């Protein structure tokens, strides 16, 4: 549920807000490495150290955000990572099966491109909401 104001929640510790910014930045770095490097965007997002460190930080500190507007951001960041992983596996399975009829490579490329765009949109959208002190998701 998205609210226009975070005033209905407890105020989170400033350090937790900083950690959420750091995690968004780590995910953004992973996406940028994939966009401008040799890896795919989603591959870099899922297997790059910045994103892995970000998800670990989310799990370490998410309990401290319970009852605050920041809880939605930690949940959003974790879900973005795991949903990207799930959809990547599904894309690989479908593409592997479709290799038999020679369209599997196309579904793989298109699927990873769409996932990269999706992950980028989620990270940007979440980070902007965090900057404005709003809940997400």
C-alpha gyration radius of the chain: 16
Give Cβ neighbours of residue 1 (< 8 Å, ≥ 6 apart).
Answer: 135
Per-block mean pLDDT, blocks of 10 residues, the chain (137 long):
58 94 96 83 88 97 95 97 94 88 86 92 97 93
Please check whether residue 10 is in contact with residue 113, taking contact to mean a CB–CB distance below 8 angstroms. no
The pLDDT, as a whole number, for residue 4 is: 47
**End-to-end alpha carbon distance in the chain:** 6
* DSSP 8-state code for residue 11: P
Sign of the torsion formed by the C-alpha atoms of 74, 55, 49 and 109: negative
- Three-class SS of residue 7? coil
- Residue 2 has what pLDDT? 47
Domain ranges across the chain: 14-131
Residue recorded with tokens 């002190």: 133
What's the token pair of residue 73? 């951001």
pTM beyond 0.75: the answer is yes
Nearest residue to 80 via CA among 39, 125, 113:
125
Which pLDDT score, from 0 to 100, does residue 50 have? 94
pLDDT, position 5: 52
Q: What is the pLDDT of residue 7?
A: 57
What residues pair up with 10 in beta bridges, in sequence order?
A: 68
Residue 1 is predicted with a pLDDT of 46
């Amino acid at each position: 549920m998205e609210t226009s104001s975070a005033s209905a929640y407890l105020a989170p510790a400033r350090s937790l807000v900083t950690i959420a910014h750091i995690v968004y930045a780590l995910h953004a770095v992973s996406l940028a490495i994939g966009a401008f490097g040799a890896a795919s965007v989603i591959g870099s997002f899922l297997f790059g150290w910045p994103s892995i460190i970000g998800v670990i930080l989310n799990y370490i500190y998410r309990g401290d955000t319970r009852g605050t507007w920041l809880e939605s951001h930690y949940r959003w960041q974790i879900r973005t990572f795991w949903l990207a992983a799930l959809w990547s596996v599904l894309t690989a399975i479908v593409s592997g099966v479709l290799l038999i009829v020679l369209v599997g490579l196309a579904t793989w490329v298109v699927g990873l491109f769409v996932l990269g765009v999706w992950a980028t949109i989620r990270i940007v959208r979440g980070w902007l909401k965090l900057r404005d002190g709003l809940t997400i998701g």
